[in-house]
Amino acid sequence: MKRNIVLIGFMGTGKSTVGKILAHKISFEYIDTDREVEKVTGLTISQIFDNHGEQRFRSEESIVAHKVSTLQQKIISTGGGIVLRPENVETLQSTGLLIELTATPEVIWERVSRRSHRPLIKKEMNAEVIAELMAGREPYYQCADYRIDTSEKTLLQVVEEIEKILQAREKEQGETWFRPLVGRKAIELSREA
């Protein structure tokens, strides 16, 4: 049985933000593989790319992918290129339900152009370049169990769509994805409603 929910997809599709909201709603712990790489190395992703290159980052990312796949009841938000290494996909699939978040190149460009900390964003980057990069990665994202286009959805709509997937899997396959809320979290969510 799958024990984790793994969000994959190109940068700027909402993986981190959706992951945090979903983790809160279903009482899973949230893990961001990029932040885990930063913790382990003591460097930002940009510093790793600048000082050691993409291959070093991908190696650190693979170590983190293996580590987080041993955990249970986690929402794991991954870096956009984690699927480039087949061993990462195999490791994450072994214990996780893979959900790809996607969006149009134009929407992604709008989202990521506001941030400068992403190592693959260059000054000459635009929606056309993003479309080319996405096309190159598309075959790798085919490993996803489900795909959600976030282009015209709010964050909560994306989270609700994932919740519907999990509810259907509970009903059809007997998987348990939702834990009863008790204590402070139950009170916090009841106040939000």
Binding residues for Mg(2+), by number, are: 16
Closest C-alpha to 127, from 104, 148, 150:
104
| 162: Cβ contacts below 8 Å, ≥ 6 apart | 5, 18, 22, 99, 146, 148
Binding site for substrate, residues?
Answer: 34, 58, 80, 137
3-state secondary structure at position 175: coil
Token duo for residue 171: 């009903």
Beta bridge partner(s), residue 146: 99
Q: How many CB atoms lie within 10 A of CB 25?
A: 19
Sequence-ordered alpha helix ranges (H) in the chain: 15-26, 33-41, 45-52, 54-68, 86-95, 105-112, 127-141, 155-173, 183-192
Residues pairing with 8 in the sheet: 100
Amino acid at 171: K
Which residues make up each annotated binding site for ATP? 12-17, 118
